[in-house]
A and B are shown apart, each in its own frame.
Chain A
Amino acid sequence: EADIYQTPRYLVIGTGKKITLECSQTMGHDKMYWYQQDPGMELHLIHYSYGVNSTEKGDLSSESTVSRIRTEHFPLTLESARPSHTSQYLCASSERSDNGGYTFGSGTRLTVV
């Protein structure tokens, strides 16, 4: 079944730790995205990729980095987590044309203590 997977679903981590949020999709989509979601706020785009070896920063300033070495895999890394990074992180993918809208993963809820 074509889908998009995010792990872990929940993560509580101490300040200063390095973490990687995983995102994989089985649909062969060219485009992938990372969004940050906070209650009552619009989704903020933090990173996106239009294909292998292509990554761009989004609208929201972020201290995270991403990589796209394989089409299906788009991990997000925080080198040194801070309490301000506490949020829900959503990964999404879409076909090249975007006509179909986005397919979202179930999200990773990150808490930095």
Chain B
Amino acid sequence: AQSVTQLDSQVPVFEEAPVELRCNYSSSVSVYLFWYVQYPNQGLQLLLKYLSGSTLVKGINGFEAEFNKSQTSFHLRKPSVHISDTAEYFCAVSGAGGYQKVTFGTGTKLQVIP
């Protein structure tokens, strides 16, 4: 069984400040890891993914995430946020390989304050 924990349900941050959204996972097998963003009244959009290789993954809109196997974490970071980054962010994990179940976290609402 696998699980995803997003400890922070809401993260307020001032515009142009850095932000880190935390994600921890548990799994007994090798994993793929994903971050999605959901803007109001929209579906989820893939931000970035870790499949293998370099543990630092860069995604769209200036976001990046680092896979830490020893700490079973996949935290999302951005050095300087904009108002347009206000959205809900979901971490997700699946077993490596095809036909594996994907488990989503409960989401973190990022509120960027002008």
Residues of A within 8 A of B (CB): 4, 6, 9, 40-43, 45, 50, 90, 92, 96-107, 109
The reply to whether the CB of B9 lies closer than 8 angstroms to some CB of chain A is: yes
The reply to whether the CB of B112 lies closer than 8 angstroms to some CB of chain A is: no
Residues of B within 8 A of A (CB): 4, 9, 32, 34, 36, 41-46, 49, 51, 90, 92, 94, 98-107
Instruction: Give, as a whole number of angstroms, the nearest-CB distance from B29 to chain A.
Output: 14
Question: Chain A contact residues: over half helix, strand or loop, or mixed?
Answer: loop
Q: How far is the CA of A109 from the CA of B105 in the complex (A)?
A: 20
Task: Knowing A40-B9, A42-B4, A42-B106, say if A103 contacts B42 (CB, 8 Å).
Answer: no
Q: Which of A97, A100, A104 contacts B43 (CB 8 A)?
A: A104
A-side contacts of B43, CB under 8 Å: 4, 6, 90, 92, 104-107
